[in-house]
């Protein structure tokens, strides 16, 4: 005689049946060869730690040799505030008219990127705020100032120095 399924077993079997299609859809269509043991593929599919002969050279058209030095138009940086130009990897402030400062956007608390500039440079991850002129922490858990980035104004553009 067969025992009826308990509610717990029925739920477990039902969950397993539902999870299979979901998990298999997460697997993707990766048809590349598996990495050698101890090596994980990097985004280009080359195992990390591969001998130089196995590494691919980056395409010159997609790998910049230096970061672009032109960051933002000086007129776009408000006095007593600042901007975080998309893709530039820098925060630019103008604490007083004509004085421009640059800072690394990585918060010194947990490495989140600062996300806005008001009267301070603000990291919304954990509430840290930094001084516009010095990058020193003025609120939150950040222990040290933002790293400075040298900038200069040339032809109305704030550029990396």
Reported as a single tens digit per residue, the pLDDT across 3-13 is 565 555 555 55
Query: Does position 40 have pLDDT exceeding 50, yes or no?
Result: no
> What is the rounded average pLDDT of the residues 29-58?
46
Higher pLDDT, 67 or 108: 108
Higher pLDDT, 40 or 98: 98
pLDDT of residue 69: 76
User: Beta 70-73 vs 81-83: how paired, if at all?
Assistant: unpaired
pLDDT of residue 60: 44
Residue-range domains of the chain with CATH: 70-160 (2.102.10.10)
Query: Does position 70 have pLDDT exceeding 70, yes or no?
Result: yes
Query: Does position 77 have pLDDT exceeding 60, yes or no?
Result: yes
How confident is the model over 95-119, as pLDDT tens digits? Answer: 999 999 999 999 999 999 999 999 9
Structure tokens at 86: 């998309």
Please report the DSSP string for 47-113 in residue order.
Answer: BTT--TTTSPPPPTTTS-SS--SEEEEGGGS-TTEEE--TTT--EEEEEETTEEEEE--B-TTT-PB
Percent of the chain, pLDDT > 70? 58
**At 97, phi and psi to the nearest 5?**
-50, 125
pLDDT of residue 100: 98
> What is the rounded average pLDDT of the residues 71-85?
96
């Amino acid at each position: 005689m067969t025992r009826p399924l308990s509610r717990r077993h029925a739920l477990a079997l039902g969950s397993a049946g539902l999870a299979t299609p979901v998990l298999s859809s997460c697997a993707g269509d990766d048809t590349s060869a598996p990495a050698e043991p101890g090596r994980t593929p990097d985004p280009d599919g080359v195992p990390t730690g591969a001998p130089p002969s196995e590494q691919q050279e980056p395409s010159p058209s997609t790998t910049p040799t230096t970061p672009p030095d032109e960051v933002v138009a000086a007129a776009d940086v408000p006095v007593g505030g600042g901007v975080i130009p998309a893709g530039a990897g820098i925060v630019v402030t103008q604490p007083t008219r004509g004085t421009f400062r640059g800072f690394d956007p990585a918060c010194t608390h947990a490495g989140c990127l600062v996300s806005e500039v008001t009267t301070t440079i603000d990291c919304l991850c954990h509430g840290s705020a930094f001084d516009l002129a010095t990058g020193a922490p003025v609120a939150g858990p950040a222990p040290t100032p933002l790293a400075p980035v040298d900038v200069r104004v040339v032809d109305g553009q704030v550029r990396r120095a």
